[in-house]
Structure 1
Amino acid sequence: MIIVAFDSDCLMCNGFVIWLLKHDKQERLTFTALNSAYFETLCTERKLTIKQDSLIFISGSNIAVESTAVIETLRQIKGLQYISPLAYALPRSLRDTCYRFVARRRKKTSSSSACPIIPPQWRHRFK
């Protein structure tokens, strides 16, 4: 099972998750909020300490954060799996700097902190 943990209080993050749900036709991705009991249990079981403002990608023992999590998540979408060689060509320090720049500003640019309602056909994909 592939798990993508995201900040459910962020409209940009929610928008990304909705986009992923629409494009993940094979239903490879499962989602959880960073502040959920499920994610807390995952962190405890795996002895993880993860910043609460990062996208997290978990597939078996592979755990990716920040820009690498975005790349690994996009690789799961049919047609986008070829993006990783191009994205990984950029140095991680540069990718993560850009990621953190956006992450620091993402809540300031949102017009509301309301969490969107997930349509019933996708609810089974959330933990």
Structure 2
Amino acid sequence: MPEASAAVIVFDGVCVLCNGWVGFLLRHDRAGRYRFAAMQSEAGRALLADHGLDPDDPTSFLLLEYNAARAPRASTDTDAIRRVLVGLGGVWTLAHAIALLPRGLRDAAYRRLARNRYRWFGRHAACAVPAPEHRPRFL
């Protein structure tokens, strides 16, 4: 289980867009707050299933934030994306503005992107292996 104040992001390990997102977070998460689990991994599948998401057909982005009691707060879709960006601090806290859009509208747009991610951005044959310096951040 992650340490208090840590967060876990379950992502699609073969999706080109999703891997770009993880790379962005690895570059900008200076505090090292975020850990990552590919949805194709045993840990990622278990986390998705534990939070009511189908590990074989995930159209949701899952963020688990752990508090001092190590109890996870789960967020999905655009709420999860907003919370991740805000968690980076600095200028990224402007991502709170996402909440100004109606959730149904923004989540519908996100799910359309999620359903078409392979067609629009591509797919890797297998999950990427993280660089040695990033391996401790992957479950």
TM over 0.5, shorter chain: yes
Task: Name the CA distance, whole Å, in 2 between partners of 1:112 and 1:96.
Answer: 22
Say if 1:11 and 1:110, in contact at 8 Å, map to a contact too: yes
Whether 2:102 is the aligned partner of 1:99: answer no
Question: One-letter code of the match for 1:91?
Answer: P
Aligned Cα root-mean-square deviation (Å): 1.7
**Percent identity of equivalent pairs:** 30
Q: Which residue of 1 aligns with 2:53?
A: 50
Task: Name the CA distance, whole Å, in 2 between partners of 1:14 and 1:40.
Answer: 17
Say if 1:6 and 1:54, in contact at 8 Å, map to a contact too: no
Moved over 6 A (4+): none
Task: Give secondary structure in 2 for the equivalent of 1:82.
Answer: helix
Whether 2:46 is the aligned partner of 1:35: answer no
Task: Give secondary structure in 2 for the equivalent of 1:54.
Answer: coil
Q: Between Structure 1 and Structure 2, how many residues are aligned?
A: 124
Task: Name the CA distance, whole Å, in 1 between partners of 2:122 and 2:102.
Answer: 33
Q: Which residue of 2 aligns with 1:23?
A: 28
Q: Which residue of 2 aligns with 1:110?
A: 121
The normalised TM-score by structure 1 is: 0.87
Q: Which residue of 1 aligns with 2:93?
A: 81
Question: One-letter code of the match for 1:83?
Answer: A
Q: Deviations over 1:9-36 (max 9, x none)?
A: 1110011000110110110100001122
Question: One-letter code of the match for 2:111?
Answer: R
Give 5+ residue unaligned stretches, structure 2. 1-5, 67-71
Q: Which residue of 2 aligns with 1:4?
A: 9
The normalised TM-score by structure 2 is: 0.80
Give 5+ residue unaligned stretches, structure 1. none
